[in-house]
Amino acid sequence: MVKLRVLLVLILLSALHTGVHGVEPGKIIGGQQSTLPDWFKDSFLDISEDVEEAKDEDKHLMLYMHLSGCPYCYKMIEEGFKNSTNTQIIKDNFNVVAINIKGNKEISLNENLTMTEAEVRDHYKVNFTPTIVFLDQNNHLVYKVNGYRSPQNFKHALDFVSSRSYQQMSLAQFISNQDRRKRYTLRVHDSFQEISDLSKKRQKPLLVLFEDQYCVLCDRLHDGHLNNPEVIQLLDLFDVVRLDAESNQPIVDVDGNSTTAKQFANKLSLNYRPGIVMFDQGKEVMRIDALLYSYHFAGHLRYIGERHYLQYPESVFDYLTVYKQSVLKSGQNIDLSK
């Protein structure tokens, strides 16, 4: 009888482990834990005080907003902060305070505003990790970097802020003044459509891809995501237009204004290349202005293309949480690092 009870318990535990339908749940893999540089500021999380200390050193304050296990954070720390030609630039011009966007430490942004780390995420409208918030010496946000940036692209942002060029121009204008010798030749793709009037009513959401001749990551986009069968299938949910963000090609924007591709990119304040902006019913719903690996890239397209944003309007991550559970229950793994 004892042996029978033990056997029944083992069977029950096995059933719980493998799920209701006998399928072993999948796992989330590919997360990487980064160790922050020891030269990051050991802050009491009184941001006004941190700004004043940075001001005394004639520096800006940088808020590095991250998430434990985030592969993009790991890549940014290793390539952008630790082992980079940017390392000394950051040390010389910035004090860096790390904030865990799911943390519960109390942060004082100023004398009238105190909140938790997680609430700071919402305050600065953080949709990607890492997100880097640059504050000037008056504690005002002057620029925000969404997601991972290559060392070269990150240097543009560092130079833009440290030189205080934000007082006279946009980052796009700042970059256009730099010596950029590498040239990218715009490539074709079967999903791209010849549409010059973006304001026309359409059945599908509209996806506008912005590239230009200076794009460092555009080849990677074409060889990677745009060569992925899952992504190609998801692009069928959209009307897809590729615009050269440096071009004076005449277009009609989503608001019905006659303009050019370059002016439209500037109007959207889209500084990242390749940058993707998705519209539905004439309104911008989401943009991808950061490096995303396959799982998140496809998830963002599915969120808009299948119009899940109507059910989960607050955040794409609300939708991805539900989607993730269905994938794991089916027995599939989710790799966050590819």
**Sign of the C-alpha dihedral computed for residues 117, 30, 313 and 281 taken in this order:** positive
Q: Give the residue among 33, 78, 87, 43 at the shortest CA–CA distance from 63.
A: 43
More confident residue, 170 or 142: 142
Helix (H) / strand (E) element for 287: namely: strand 283-288
Give yes or no for residue 15 having a pLDDT over 50: no
Q: pTM score, two decimals?
A: 0.82
Position 6, amino acid: V
Write the pLDDT tens digit of every residue in 31-69: 788 899 999 999 999 999 999 999 999 999 999 999 988
263 or 9, greater pLDDT:
263
Residue 179 confidence (pLDDT): 61
Look at residue 277 in the predicted model and tell me its pLDDT.
98
Joined together, the tokens standing for residue 186 give 């715009």
Residue 74: per-residue pLDDT: 93
- What integer pLDDT is reported at residue 79 of this predicted model? 92
Angle at the Cα of 109 (from 106 to 115), degrees rounded to 5? 35
Res 180: pLDDT: 61
Q: What is the residue-averaged pLDDT of the chain? A: 90
Q: Is the pLDDT confidence value at 118 over 60?
A: yes
Question: Among residues of the chain, what percentage have pLDDT more than 90?
Answer: 72
Residue 128 has pLDDT above 80, yes or no: yes
Residues 47 and 39: their CA atoms lie apart, in Å, by 17
> Average of pLDDT values for 295-314?
96
Grouping H, G, I as helix, E, B as strand and the rest as coil, residue 119 is helix
